Structure 1
Amino acid sequence: MQHPVKENPAYERLTSQLSQVREQFGVLYLYLLQINPDGSGGKVMVAAHPPDSGIQFQIGDPCYVNAEQIAKIRAGETYYSDIIRDPHYGVYMSAGAPLLGKDGRLAGIVGVDTDMAMVEGIGKDVVRNSVPVFVFHGLFVVVLIVLILGLSRWYQREIRVAVGETEEHYQDELRSVISSIRSIRHDFVNHMQVLYGLIECGYFDKARDYIQSLLKETKLLDLTVRIANPALMVLFHTKWEQAKSKQIVMQFAECPDPFEGIPSIDLVKIMSNLIDNAIDAAEMADGEKRIRIACRREDKQYVFEVENTGAEISPEQRAHIFTVGYTTKPATRSNARGAGLPIVQAVVSKHNGSIEIVSEHGMTRFTVILPAK
């Protein structure tokens, strides 16, 4: 806002970030607005749009925001609109939230527009032909709720057995998974209704495209099949979500062994600390941000590997990284550093295991080897 020109590093960085988020969530437009001094509307400062839209936003382009919406923004609230039909920008719904500066003062609005053309086009046909489907989905939702309640109780019982007295500490991980399942259930019903409407109305090409887009979101569900140990499966779910929020690709090799020879609390201590360090390092990587996790049994030993891109660990640093309080990362008031790897080493020593570190060519890999009892 201080230098409103496109030849500005801040403008280029914000445009890139908005484009990434717009593509990730599949919205139509994503933009930052500055509110007019008289509160009569706003103007676009930075915007992201589909590459094939043919629309070019200019800094200062007017954007319709009414007085009621601006009042909500100034009160620290969000707003959303009815369906808007614009001959230039299309058919969409608009929403906005306050954008605050470092000093906590209102700097503008973060706005998002969602494409409603397809939904509006098939909505009437879907409603007219979907009464039996609504009944079916109502029953389906009831069954899903029963299954989720049963699954929730099963998770609680498994975690109670797996982590014993430390159950309370890891309940946050479990709640995150249950929340994820509930979200998937809700989205599944919506997806089924849209797919049914597309098929009933004969939009087979659009239905196929819609299914292909859904296939990209199935990687998280695959973890429940590939990870045999319940405690590790819960941990990997939450760490996958955390990495995803930081645009880090987290890959898991199949872990068919339940690792019954090692207490689940010790497995979680090892893997959670190694993965947290890997996320911190990958987030700071200049190029590819990737983490690979593998857990397996080899003859009479268990092998756990966490590999990440990012800055390498020098030989001098390796001599101290298992010392309590030593860290290669900056400390913050809310998060003490230098405690994770000493915890890992203590657990490994407890089981008479070993830790191997390979750090070269922009890749760091920690390998923990424990004897299989």
Structure 2
Amino acid sequence: MPRNIWLMAISLSVIIVLLSNAAYYFLTKQTLEDALNHEMRAVAKQIEFSVEQSRLGAEKFQDQIGRELRVAAIAAQYALDPDVEKVTNEQLKELSAKLGVEHITLMKRTADNIILYKSSDENELGKGTKTWDPWYVAFNQLFDQHEVSIDWLGQTLPNFWSGPFEVASTDPDSIYKWGYYHDGTTNYIIDPYVSYRTLADYEKLTGIDELIDKSIKSSDSLLEATVFNPTTLGKGSFDTVNEDGKLQGHLLQKDIFYGTYRYQDDGDIGHVTKAFATGTSISVNEKINGKHVLKLFIPVSTGSEGVNLVDENGNPIHGYVLSLVSDYQVIQDRLDAQFLNIGIVIFLVTGISLVVALVAMRYFRQTREKVVEVTQQTYVDEINSMFQSIRAQRHDFLNHVQTIHSLAELNKSKELVAYTKELTGEIRLMNDIINIGNPAIAALIRSKISQAESYRIAFSCSFSGLNRLEMGLKTLDVNRMLGNLIDNAFDEVMKYAEGCREVELTGSQMEDYLEFCIRNTCSNAREVTAKPLFEAGFTTKDDAHQGLGLFTVKSITEKYRGTIQVITEDEGIITFYIRIPH
């Protein structure tokens, strides 16, 4: 039985350790994911700050370029004839070189169009602008009222308007920024423009892409960073065909502002759109290109319309979405490293626990064997004591016979009767003890009878059927119960005069149960029965007693699913009934 208990305890410990490890695994995993998420957000903040600085700087830089284009246009106005017919393309080539612009084009208004009439760029000549919406509206406003008031991107100054950098309709492979000036003193709009190289050099100096590359290289987990246009992502190309039949792209409607987009997934469009619409970040676990990654989509609000932030229709938008891709394997590697350490600790702790358990089992076994040995020794001593009494009776038998013979010869009939009565009482008592049928219980009763004689206690006992009681632990428990009950009764009756010291014990083995009953003198029996007699530590005696006797009796009784009762049938008598089923 104890071995099974130890096995159950060890098994339960192993299950608890496994459950604890599982809980720790998922808790650690969640903690690492939160840490990685926090790290990605910190990097995102840095990139977001740089993007905003660069974007705002680019807007200011474009405004400065616009002002310089206006200055160049005014300078060209003073250098050129106010009549477009009197201006030559060669003059424009020479003037654009002097003013430091890419080209200068003069725009003439016709009955139904505004055409690029004269230019230092031969590709511009003769091209109409009627299909350039909303640029064409701005051109007409300049011709009509010299001020542009369209609700679209661009820079408006007195008699001047400039749009953002865009792909040229006359040269789809080039990106320019144009400025348009008309104050009414000429019959044409002066259009100087510069190449995108100017802005590209600036953006290179601000280093957004370089910052992204450095962030990726300095991070253990960051794989990619992308700045998305949430309104154009996934909507395909916005290229158009110009008047020459060539495919013309549009810079403003591009779906990626900065970074790379190698880790693509079908759900990205939905995540970007949702993040931008709700203004909340979205985090997803995905497997892309054979790699487990953690993707974070962070909406960024610019607070104002940016010159380079437009939707598919060219209308300004107020933000973008920053996406970061992190290697989830970093979390797994950290988990593996931690659990390797934990595994070593668990192995050591388990080993130590097993050693402690083995030592405890060995100690328990030795203690139990020692208790059994002491009990057996007590049992042997009590049996020997009983047999010694029997041998003493047999040894004294001749003396008893001689004494009886002498009393008979002397006609001492009264003395003879008294002597034989005392002798037969001792023999009957010994026979009653022997007839108990259980040597261990008989030995206990014999020792208690001797103890009662020395205390001047009238101790009577009777047993029936105990010869069917099995030897072993059950007999040991019976002796513990009887021993504690008898000792408790002896302690109680010793409070009274010698003539009142009465203790009676009966025991019987029935078909379905074993029953014991012990009665003893107790002057305040009704008061005693109202007290918690069976609680550990409770005692009605002096402080020398620990109050464990009756508690032990009750514990053994309940161990065998038995019952114990305390009653006061007669005044001055207390009775304990024990019944144990079998």
TM-score (norm 2): 0.32
TM-score (norm 1): 0.49
Bigger Rg over Cα:
2
Structure with greater proportional helix content: 2
